[in-house]
Amino acid sequence: MPSWILKYYILDLSPHNSLVRYLVERAHTVFMISWKNPREEARGVGLNDYLQLGLFDAFAQVRRITGTAPVHAAGYCLGGTLLAIGAAALGRDSQPQSVPLETVTLFAAQTDFSEPGELGLFIDSSELAYLDALMWEQGYLDGAQMAGAFQLLHSRDLIWSRSIREYLLGQHAEPTDLMAWNADTTRLPYRMHSENLKYLYLRNDLAEGRYCVGGRTVALADLKLPVFLVGTERDHVSPWRSVYKLHRLTGAEISFLLTSGGHNAGIVSELGHARRRYRFSTRRQDAPYVNPDEWFTQTPVCEGSWWPSWQQWLAAHSSEKIIPPALGGGTVLSDAPGNYVLEP
């Protein structure tokens, strides 16, 4: 489940650095959500619509395709935040008709926004009022408007270093697949983005037990499934110490992995990638809390990509192998990669 500010194919960029390909080659069946790139007609679509029509409908589609196979759900950035909300809501309601989630994996996803890092510089009541007025007029937040804020978060690399290198030195970087993906911007519906900033970032309703799904509050303490939690050392969007705060919100088993790199390059960390390293350990269910700095000091460094550690964790939490479902078993809208990812 990608964030709605990401095109999903960041995890399937090229054959050599595709996390999807890596998993499929190791006998996992992978499904991915592709969000529609909204315009004015979607101004009234909210966060809970993304939960119900996005995550829960996707679970139902997976169940139609695979039968009763358990699901290992993974979410990236705000997609991981919404996945945590959905998993906690399912744990709260214990609905027998819901897809049987086996585990939850969160890539660079915050659940406590009390310290959102440098993005917090752009989020206060006056900024929210300005964005509300802008989005109300358009019905959405444009991708270029959002991209400017993220460039300022990482201005040394994304603005100044690039300007010096290209303008002063005349050195133009060779285009990469990650650069092409980064230029493929998305739009956000008025209501959803407003609720995201207000309820999650500004008021921190999820961590403080005020966020509602189905008219009832959601507590992350109801997230009792094994969790694989990934942070990245140089993340300006989801600082790893903020990601780590999930340890204080649930007593579930959490396997926390901190990898080198930033919000995107740290996740797209294929085997053979130079200068990659990570730290990894598991907190057993209801074990005592260890603060992030103590955890960092006492957890040894491993060299290489973190992908094998996650894949081995998935395998260890999986049941026996099953026959993979046939392609086209669900509701087929169009040929891959679908229409949404191609929308301008």
121 CB neighbour count, 10 Å cutoff: 12
Query: Is-catalytic flag, 212?
Result: no
- CA angle (293 as vertex; 266, 308 as ends), nearest 5: 35
Q: Give strand pairing partners of 105.
A: 74, 228
- In angstroms, rounded to a whole number, what is the distance separating the alpha carbons of residues 266 and 252? 25
- Cβ–Cβ under 8 Å, residues 240 and 232: yes
Those residues with Cβ within 8 angstroms of residue 239's Cβ, 6 or more apart along the chain or in another chain: 115, 116, 117, 231
Q: Parallel, antiparallel, or unpaired for β 277-283 and 254-259? A: antiparallel
Q: Which of 65, 73, 77, 219 is catalytic?
A: 77
Q: Given the structure tokens 């050392």, which residue do they identify?
A: 233
Report how far residue 131's alpha carbon sits from residue 125's, in angstroms, rounded to the nearest whole number. Answer: 10
Cβ 220 vs Cβ 81: under 8 Å: no
Q: Tokens standing for 308?
A: 């094998």
Q: Which of 78, 5, 59 is nearest to 37 (CA)?
A: 5
Classify 245 as helix, strand or coil. helix
DSSP 225-286: S-EEEEEETT-SSS-HHHHGGGGGT--S-EEEEEESS-TTTTTS--TT-TT-EEEEEEEPTT
Is the distance from CB of 307 to CB of 270 less than 8 angstroms?
A: yes
Compute φ and ψ for 3, nearest 5 degrees. -65, 155
Question: Residue 178 and residue 164: Cα distance in Å, rounded?
Answer: 21
- Owner of token pair 């690039």: 162
Residues classed as catalytic: 77
